Chains A and B, each alone.
Chain A
Amino acid sequence: MTTDGADFERRGSAPVIAPVGPRKLAKVPFVELADGRLQGVVSSGSDIERVYVSSITAGDHGLSCNTNNNRPCGGLSGGSWACNHLRALADAAVAQYGLARVARYLKADLADGGDDLWSGLHTTTAPNRAAEVFASFLRHLSYLEVAPATDPLPELQWFPAAGAVR
C-alpha cells in the first residue's frame, strides 16, 4: 500500500477508508455498512412520504425490508428472495463502496472476478430491523443540521480531503 517511504503500519496518514464513489441519491438516499449489516433506505416509487428500510446481515445474509411505518414490504413478504428495494440497496452500496468492500463486509462468496453480488449471497430471512436502521438514517440526516464551526480542529491534519479517482 506504500511505495517508498514509511510502511503503512507506521504512517499517521495511512489511508483507511477509500473515497466513496459518487452516485445518485434520489432512489436510495442512504446506505451504510454498519452494525454487521448492509442497511439503508429506499424511496418509495409511489408515495413521497414513504420510504422502505432494507437490510442484509453480514455472514447469514438475512434479508429484511419494511416501510418506515413498520409495514412489511409486499415484494419481500418475509421470504428470502430479494425484493426490488433490496436490489436497489445493493446496487447503491456497490456504486458507493465498490463491490470488493461490500462483498468483504457481507462475507459474500464471490468467485474470482465475479461481478454479481447476489451470486455470492445465500439469502435467508432476518428479523425486522427497520426501527434501528431508520434511527440510523435520521442520525445521518441530522448531520446536515449541525451548525458549521470555525474553532480549530487540529486533528483534521490526520484526515486529508479525499483524492480524486484519477
Chain B
Amino acid sequence: MLADALNSTPDGFAEALTLVDGLDDALVQGLARIDEDRATVLESFAAAFGGSPLADRIADTIGKIIAGTVTDEHLVVLAGARAALLGAAHDALRVSLDAALGRSRAAWSDSPVVSDNGHLLAGGRSWLRELAIAGWRGVDHELAGGAAQAVQSLLAAPGTRRLAVLLDGFAAELKATAPVATLPRIPVRRWADLWTRALLLSQDGYPHFEATPIDGRLVLLGVDLHEHPTVFQAQAHGLLETPDGTVRLVRTSVAAAKVDTISGPSAWRMLSAFPIFRGVVAEHRTVEVSGMGLTPAGDLIWDESRAAAGEPADPFAAARVRLGSATALPAAPLDRHPGALAEPVLLEGYGHAENAFDLGGGVSVALDLDRLPAAGPLTPALVGSSTACLGLLRWDGRWLLQPLAVQAVVRKKPVAAHTGDWALGPTEAKAAKAEAAAGTAVDVLRERAGRLLRK
C-alpha cells in the first residue's frame, strides 16, 4: 500500500545520498581547496564506484582534483558520477512508489538523437568550471554575474533554451546571495543539483529524444506552476486516451520568458500565445489532440494548432475512474533524479494532521505548502479543510504531497479549487483587483521596451 512506500527507505538509499553529500560539501569550499578531510571523503566517493564502468575514470579524476588539477574533463566525470548516484536513488524511489500505487510503467527503449549545439556551450561550461573551482563560498558579485553573456546567446537559439533557462535561474540565486561567503546558510544540495544538471547539458552531443505524433483525447488532472525571475511555466498533468484504447499519464507544458517584477496571477498574461491551453485549464475541458508530438518520457509537446477544446470534464471524476489503470512513462535517462519525481495521485478519506494528511495506520504524508502558488486559488486553509486532493507526490529528503486541486467543505458548502483556475485571470474579486493593478506592469514594460529597445 501507499503507506508502506511512504514509510520505508530503499536499501542502500541513505548510503548513496551520503556519497552525494560528500561531493556536495566539497563544492562549498571549491575544488581548488581540498583539505585532508575532504580528500578522504572524495576518495571514498571514488571507491564506491569500484567495479562499475566508471571506476577508472572516477578514481583518476578524484586523484587529479585532490592533486590540484581541475579540467573540464574532470568536472564532467564528477557530474556524471553524481547524476548516476541520484539516478539510482530516483529509480529505487520510483519502483517502490509504482508498486504501492499499482502503477504500471513502460520501459525505456528509445535511443537518442545526438544534439549539436557545440559552439554555443563553451561559455556556460567555463562559468561552471570557475564556480566549481571557487566553490559557493567563493562566489562574489563578479563571478555570480559571469553567466550573463552565455545565457543571452543560449536563449537566442532554439536548441539550447533548456540550458539557458537553467543557467539563468541558477545565476539569479547566486547574484541574489553574493557575496556568498557572508550567507548564513548555503543551499548545498540544491546548488550542486543545478550545477550538475547544467554541466551535463553543456556537453556536446547531449542526448535528445524525438517526439512521435499522436492523436487522442487529453483529460487534464491538474496544473503545476514553475517560475524563476525570468521564466514562468504552466505544466499540466493529464490522461491521454488514444484510439487504440490506451490511457497514458502525460504532461504538457507552456512557458514564457518574463522578468522578476511580473509574478503572481499576472504571470499568466505572459502565456498569451496559448489561448487554447489557458482556456482548457481554466474551464476544466478535455483537449482533442491531433498529431501532437509525444516524447518517450511522457511529454506531450503542446501545439495550439493541433489542439481543440473539448467538453468540460471534472478532474476528480477522471482521476477516480481512469488514473488507477493508466500507464505511466519512464523518465529520460539523464533526467532521473529524486527531485524530478512528481507523481500524480488522488487521495481521499484522509484525516488532517499539522501540515500533513493522516492516511491512517499511523502513516501521514507531509504537505508541500511552499508549492501553493500565488498564481492560483489554493491556500493552506483550503487544503486543511479538504476531503479529496489531487496532487503530486514528490521527494525532497522525505515524501511530500503537493496539492494541485482540492475538494473541500467551506461554510457547509462543497467547493473545489484547482491551481489552474486563474489561467484566464483570477475568479475571486479581491485577487482580480490586485491582478488588474499588478498586470499593468506588463503593459508598462512593453511600452518602455517599445520606446527604448529599437533605438
Contacts and interface: CB of A to CB of B under 8 A. Distances in A.
A23 B259 CA distance: 13
Given A8-B185, A10-B189, A11-B397, A164 B225 contact: no
Contacts of A24: 437, 440-441
A8 B445 CA distance: 35
Given A155-B162, A160-B227, A14 B176 contact: no
Contacts of A123: none
A25 B187 contact: no
Interface string A123-166: 00000000000000111111111101111111111111111111
A35 interface: yes
Contacts of A33: 175-176
A23 B370 CA distance: 22
Nearest to A96: B261
Contacts of A146: 155, 256-257
Q: Report the interface size class on chain A.
A: 35 or more
A111 interface: no
A156 B231 contact: yes
A19 B370 CA distance: 11
Contacts of B176: 16-17, 33, 101
B161 A148 contact: no
B173 A149 contact: no
B67 to A, nearest CB: 28
B99 to A, nearest CB: 22
B229 interface: yes
Given A141-B453, A142-B453, A161 B227 contact: yes
A20 to B, nearest CB: 5
A159 B444 CA distance: 26
Contacts of A96: 260-261
A166 B141 contact: no
B301 A151 contact: yes
A43 B72 CA distance: 45
B433 interface: no
Q: Report the interface size class on chain B.
A: 35 or more
B187 A163 contact: no
Contacts of B233: 153, 156
A22 B436 CA distance: 12
A94 to B, nearest CB: 14
B148 A139 contact: yes
A149 B255 CA distance: 5
B335 A145 contact: no
Nearest to A68: B452
Pick the most buried of A10, A13, A96: most chain B CB atoms within 10 A of its CB.
Answer: A13
B421 interface: no
Contacts of B339: 12-13, 157-158
16 contacts: A7-B397, A9-B188, A11-B189, A12-B338, A14-B189, A49-B451, A149-B256, A150-B253, A151-B301, A152-B295, A152-B299, A155-B169, A155-B194, A156-B235, A159-B231, A161-B375
Given A13-B371, A22-B438, A141-B448, 15 more contacts: A11-B189, A13-B190, A13-B339, A25-B441, A138-B453, A139-B152, A141-B259, A141-B449, A143-B258, A144-B442, A148-B274, A150-B302, A155-B165, A155-B166, A161-B227
